[in-house]
Chains A and B, each alone.
Chain A
Amino acid sequence: MRGLYRKAFIDSLPVMMGYTTMGFAAGVLLSVAGKVSFPAAWSGFLAATSISGTLQFVVVDWFANRSPLLHVALITAAISFRYGFYGFSLLNRWRGIALWKKLYLIWGLTDETYAIESSCAIEDKEDYIRYCLTLTALDHSYWIIGTTVGAIVGSSFTLPSRGIEFSMVALFIAIFTDQVRGLVKGGAK
């Protein structure tokens, strides 16, 4: 049992590195360019609810422009489209578990968490679900911590912000580059 939590923690370490640094950058960005008071609260709230790296970057522009809700809804659906496919390969392993567990696992189904959960070889169903729940909670908290700390740090300095909106384009280009690389190699990401 203890080994299970240990395994979840060790497997989550690469995600910790990624989420705290990426979250930190998104948090700094929101406080520098989001034009909101209490950026740390907004940053942490967005991270805790949506748990999406892409969204956390894109939302800065919407916050700054106070974009119309319909616009926000359409782009959110477009950038989150891929999440709609992750569940397919987890259907059988998550079938029949308690509803609240399933809901939390779905809520926290990010790119990285999905990658680890879908490749994890734990046979026993109860153990596997406990492992997934622990991993999701860990990744969730890394993301909240990274984004909140980034926003706090970002609001305590005055940073130049002209052109910083390029980070959103850069994020899309980086994702696209990886996707094309995956297609060219013919394997899964």
Chain B
Amino acid sequence: MSGDVLHLLLMALMCWAIIFFIRSIPFLLFGRANSQPPVWLNAVEKWISPAIILGLIVYSYVGLFQKHPPTEHLYGLSEFAAGGLVVILQLLLRNGLLSILGGTVAYMLMLHGGL
């Protein structure tokens, strides 16, 4: 097996292990008979999850700007316009796939058009 394939395989297996572990945390912590989770956990879930996703949005915008430097095309306007389109589509139609497709196609068109 080539090193490249091994790297990809390790990546995939690691993702599996991490995700499986995270999914099993409640059962590992409170799986015994009569043990119950504390109530404050609800509040944590409610606020931390969006905070993490917001962090990931920033993180992926940084990655996007490294690949397509904003100085080359209208100072990042197309990135934010496409992002805005995703928000609007998601608010109106509530269909994740349509929002992702719409935003991505719009962004690809703008890049293609030199914006």
Contacts and interface: CB of A to CB of B under 8 A. Distances in A.
A179 B67 CA distance: 28
A50 B58 CA distance: 24
Contact of B45 (A22, A85, A172, A173): A85
A67 interface: yes
Interface stretch (A71-79, A121-129, A137-145): A71-79
A159 to B, nearest CB: 10
Contacts, number: 196
Interface in A71-93: 72-73, 75-88, 90-91
B8 A87 contact: no
Contacts of A88: 26, 30, 37, 41
B97 A25 contact: yes
Interface string A173-189: 11111111101000000
Bin the interface of chain B by size.
35 or more
A87 B25 contact: yes
Nearest to A89: B26
A57 to B, nearest CB: 8
A86 B110 CA distance: 39
Contact of B15 (A76, A160, A174, A181): A76
Contact of A177 (B86, B101, B107): B86
